Copies of this chain bind each other. A is one copy, B any other.
Amino acid sequence: MYPEINSERLWQRHVEMAKIGATKGGGVHRLALTSEDIAAHRLLADWAEARGFAIALDDIGNMFVRREGADSSLPPVASGSHIDTQPFGGRFDGITGVLVAFEALEALEDAGIESRAPLETIAWNNEEGSRFIPACMGSAVYAGNEPLDDMRAATDANGETMGSCVDRLKAALPGATHRELGAPMTAFLEAHIEQGPELEANENIIGIVTGMQGYRRFTVEVTGEDAHSGTTPRARRKDAFMAANDMVQALRAELEDEADTVRFTIGRFSVEPGGISVVPGRIAFTIDLRNPVPETLEKLGNRIPEICRENAGPCTVVTDEFIKQPPLEFPAEIRERFTAAAERRGYPHQAIYSGAGHDARHALKLCPAGMIFIPCWKGISHNEAERAEPEHIAAASQIIADLLVDIANET
């Protein structure tokens, strides 16, 4: 017996959440563990506690909302995503997967359906990695892919540590019990907006994710010498800005492919000291490189430090690869279950590959995991204009609810 989800409630929850960190541009600015992000966690906890669901937190700030099963000793079947956003990001990225999972628990509660294994909604902490590097920090630590102590020591631009901010989240959720990192799960399912245009173009409303491209991320620090812009001839300059500019040109020439399969992005770039009439002595920038083919990712990524050195001119350069994740494939078993559920509900669906990284990557280390995508208006994401349709979100919630019950009762 499957529950029927309540699409109006789900959309109302979406609207409430989108108020927390709302921007003038219609998006959301809710960086990990800021007061906005903590307020959003608090709101989810209020909703959970009103339904009698238990709350737990682990040491990296992942939040677990639990609906007990007939056999509470069984590892939970879980679904969720993240609450934090990009700087001036959208209203759907992350939070949609949390609300879709939470609605599944509420729908089961409304219908009075008991599952054998417990069911959980997870809000993985700091998925975006915009305030504390790296991204997917919460799920990575939970799965043992990043060390807890190093990640708690990560600092934001103001020198605040991740650990102290996690403690603030704990203080805001006094009713939460403690969850051990790596505690087993029966399965993990994640719904997320596509962040690409494929489902919309194909008029499908469910994308069943086959795999995820790999990515490598670097910081590049270029050091030259501050100098007066009026008096210093080019020949005597160690202009870190111009050196970085040359590096970027050379990187593009070598990394960008004609077939347009390589994703090469420079999203942060800072200049010091930053005077209009000062030749800059220090530049720092980030590189995000992604590709579905392991060999391509390996070969291109390995060239990055070399290309930077070759184009440093009179400056020095230090590159640091701070995260590297190979491409992955989700297990056929979960994909087939998603397909069957979409067929049963009559939702137009397709297989789809994920260009983005998601927390399901790390969950897959602990248990069978899988993802579904929701159509995303024009493919626009990491943007205040991000948009998804209420009925598509509802369909995803229905599929997640159906699969949670399936898997929980078969365990």
**Does chain B have a CB within 8 A of A299?**
no
**Does chain B have a CB within 8 A of A356?**
yes
A266–B230 Cα distance when bound, in Å, is 12
Are B245 and A87 neighbours in the complex by a CB distance under 8 Å?
A: no
Partner of A275, one of B86, B215, B225, B230: B86
**Does chain B have a CB within 8 A of A398?**
no
Q: How many residues of chain A are within 8 Å of chain B by beta carbon?
A: 69
Chain B neighbourhood of A370, CB < 8 A: none
**Does chain B have a CB within 8 A of A210?**
no
**How many whole Å from A333's CB to the nearest CB in chain B?**
25
Q: Per-residue CB proximity of A241-279 to B under 8 Å, as 1/0?
A: 110010011001000100010011111111111111111
Q: Per-residue CB proximity of A84-103 to B under 8 Å, as 1/0?
A: 00111100000000000000
A326–B130 Cα distance when bound, in Å, is 45
A271–B213 Cα distance when bound, in Å, is 26
**Does chain B have a CB within 8 A of A114?**
no
Chain B neighbourhood of A263, CB < 8 A: 229-233
**Does chain B have a CB within 8 A of A1?**
no
A135–B228 Cα distance when bound, in Å, is 14
Chain B neighbourhood of A88, CB < 8 A: 226, 272-273
**Does chain B have a CB within 8 A of A217?**
yes
Q: Per-residue CB proximity of A341-382 to B under 8 Å, as 1/0?
A: 000000000000011110000000000000000000001111
Are B276 and A130 neighbours in the complex by a CB distance under 8 Å?
A: yes
A275–B225 Cα distance when bound, in Å, is 27
- Stretch touching chain B among A6-14, A41-49, A179-187, A280-288: A280-288
Chain B neighbourhood of A356, CB < 8 A: 228, 230-231, 277
A-side residues, CB < 8 A to B, are 86-89, 128-130, 133, 135, 194-197, 213, 215, 217, 225-236, 239, 241-242, 245, 248-249, 252, 256, 260, 263-281, 286, 288, 290, 354-357, 379-384
A335–B379 Cα distance when bound, in Å, is 67
Are B196 and A227 neighbours in the complex by a CB distance under 8 Å?
A: no
Are B230 and A290 neighbours in the complex by a CB distance under 8 Å?
A: yes
Are B379 and A275 neighbours in the complex by a CB distance under 8 Å?
A: no
Are A236 and B379 neighbours in the complex by a CB distance under 8 Å?
A: yes
Are A133 and B276 neighbours in the complex by a CB distance under 8 Å?
A: yes
Chain B neighbourhood of A197, CB < 8 A: 236
Partner of A195, one of B133, B228, B249, B266: B228
A66–B379 Cα distance when bound, in Å, is 67
Partner of A279, one of B229, B230, B267, B277: B267
Are B276 and A230 neighbours in the complex by a CB distance under 8 Å?
A: no
Are B230 and A130 neighbours in the complex by a CB distance under 8 Å?
A: no
